[in-house]
Amino acid sequence: MNKAQLIEAASEKAGLSKKDTESALSAILEVIVTAVAGGDRVAVPGFGAFATRERLARTGLRPGTTEKMEIPAATVVRFAPATGFKEAVNK
């Protein structure tokens, strides 16, 4: 499902116009990205939580040549689905 399909399905489910649904979705995504980028954890009950994690620098192997290379430390985004979400997917 792409963004346009998500907006169409959500607008039908909520009884809103596609324009209003797109505005709401864009605002929600922007708030989530801004909060997580600022180091906050965003939890949506019944859906899941977004947070950042620090990944340490490490030594890896370059594919094909097996030459050692340094992989720098990075901040990565983690999504942890809520229990209800997991159960719905695993039916």
Q: Where are the domains of the chain?
A: 1-39, 41-91
What's the pTM value of the predicted model, to 2 decimals?
Answer: 0.81
Q: How confident is the model at residue 64 (pLDDT cuts 50, 70, 90)?
A: confident
Identify any residues that bridge with 77 across adjacent strands, giving them in sequence order.
52
Q: Give pLDDT tens digits for 27-46.
A: 999 999 999 999 999 999 99
C-alpha–C-alpha distance, residues 55 and 78, integer Å: 11
Fold topology of 41-91: HU Protein; Chain A (4.10.520)
Give the number of other CB atoms < 10 A from CB of residue 90.
6
User: C-alpha 45: how far from its chain's center?
Assistant: 15
Within a 13 Å sphere around the CA of 58, how many CA atoms are in the beta-carbon half?
Answer: 7
